A and B are shown apart, each in its own frame.
Chain A
Amino acid sequence: MMGAREEILERITSALADEPAIPEVPRTYRRSADLSEQDIEEMLVERLEDYKAHVDVVTAAGLPGTIATLLKEASGYVVPHGLPEAWFDVDDLRVDDRRITDAPGHRLSVPELDALSSVVTSSTVSIAESATIVLDGSPDQGRRAISLVPDQHVCIVPASSIVQILPEAMSRLEITRPLTWISGPSATSDIELERVEGVHGPRRLDVVIVTDL
């Protein structure tokens, strides 16, 4: 008897016996930015806030202080092993026993992650038009689980990683890496369409845009 794979492929070939043409895809949609860098950044901020994310815009010098403020109430936080040490170069964070690093060979278990209130990561690319931040599992962003289980996600967005529209972002993405596209905190509108922010993913998303990174 023919295997399922062969049979399905044959069914498809047979279904396409009329040999439909493969059309050319018209790519007349926008593929590059038409706003200034300043406007793009403002668009990102405004639209992230629309999603009820909290946004800070700082310089690299101000970043450690901002992270310290955002983590003020954190009982414990996880960081991926590739996060720059310089981002914690401020009195409150330099030596901080609330901080736990997730590194190859020293992976936190799911219950361990569940016991932490917060996570700090960097990000790969951000799309202003849809206020979408992409994480790709690089050493400064970490495994998918670490940015998922803790309830507060502090996400650093270097200004140089911001684009205006999605097609511009594609060339910056390595699609075979595990990708998470984040547009605001988790949300549901399942009960009478009333939007509730924060269901299973982090309920609090704090974005820090760093203008000179």
Chain B
Amino acid sequence: MWAAISKNTLALSKLIIRLDRIRIPLWLIGIVFFTIMVPIAFDDMYSSQKERDVMAETMENPAMTAMVGPGNLENYTIGAMTSHQMLLLTAVIVGLMSILLVTRHTRATEEDGRIEMIRSLPVGRLANVNATLLVLVVINILLALISGLGLYALGIESMDLEGSLLYGATLGATGIVFTGITAIFAQLSESSRGATGFSIAILLIAYLVRAIGDVSNETLSWFSPLGWVSQTEAYSTNNWWPVGLMIGVSIILFILANYLNAIRDLGAGFFPSKPGKKHASIFLKSPIGLALRLQRTGMIAWAIGLFILGISYGSVFGDLESFFEGNDVLEQLLAEKEGYSLTEQFIPMLMIVLSLLATVPPLMAMLKLKGEEGKNRLEHLFARAVSRNKMMGSYLIIAIINGFMMLSLTAIGLFAAANAVMDESFNFGMIYGAAMVYYPAMLVMIGLAVFLIGVLPKVTSFIWAYLTYSFLVLYLGGLFDFPEWVGKLSPFGYIPQLPVEEMQWLPLVILTVIAFVLMIVGMVGYNKRDIDG
């Protein structure tokens, strides 16, 4: 029985590897490179224990705990520092990799009708899902081994073999857990967008649950697989059991995914899909209405997600405030800048993260234009009397408004939560301003997306690499003391860090001008190039 329903699993695994022979190595190299570079940089910058202890002091506050999780701050070696500051973040990236790869080879290829062809061959009913699981498990084991051995090979004193292997194993195990979670959503949801969306939502929720748990209530962190990541305490106590726990949970998830796949029809899901409307509303009958309708659900989900993220970050301020009150040493260390409280000094750091995340949905809204072209659906519209300017303009307007709303929502969420938990609350204008200064940088990113779609359509996904770059250099830049120009390669690097820095209008105006130039050039290019379908 099992032999029959899993027949040709290995052959399909080979096919998946063949299809992704570039994508998989890119993910692996990227993550391993990132993992290994960080301790090298740490070793260089914080070479004495004294410097590291200072670092430990600055890390010892609820805002940082919410962001990176708990760590061994008493004995802050290079190893402890690496696993404290990097392990959770890297685990999230590994989770994301697993989510994207699993959906791609399960629901997405089923949705595109390729599984129908495969299933007409002597291939077992469960072969495809298990081939995907198999490939992902192998990728994650490879990732665990390469990064573990790579870290050990650095020869840094505090980074012993066991800790290094555990560090790698934690990353791999997180990847395997999210492989399982995505495999289940690939069965439940009828569309690949749904499967990816739900899985990423779980990833974010797992991150937030452990953020709240780590700050206020440890038991809560137990409910999040990302909470287990910090529990391994690689390079300190070296707990292996969370890895075991993750593997155990993964096995259950894999079995459940198999079961769900076995009892459903090809093409069907379990989430109910209700019949749609018989007629298009007047709104839907314009390109902008159609563009909006196509991404409505995703946009609402992002709006809710970012609002919750704002709330989560905001809720940390209460703890932060009381923490600073009782800590004289810290107060001296982070000497208060004129007119600003210590808590306010954390705002710019949060704003960078929030604004970069809030840039994702407007970019997705813009790139949807390219996605529709790739699926040959634009030709239906261009074949009717829709000009290219109107088409691109519709998506652009949506992206511009979308970005504005996403940024506003995070600021409002942050303010609302901070206001509720703090004794001395913030001024709303200050928080909102600190968020909105990033809008011009966001516009540049949207402009660049327009430019890429119009002029260099083959490399539109470059925008994601650029956003990731911005994230890494600005978020981590503070930790690593990068030279200034590294941050200035991103539009986000020119934004005044309100409220701590002075407001400067000039860079904002220049960024806005650049954004509009990019948009215009992109539009002109779009009018001139071939449409692929």
Answer yes or no: do A and B interact: no
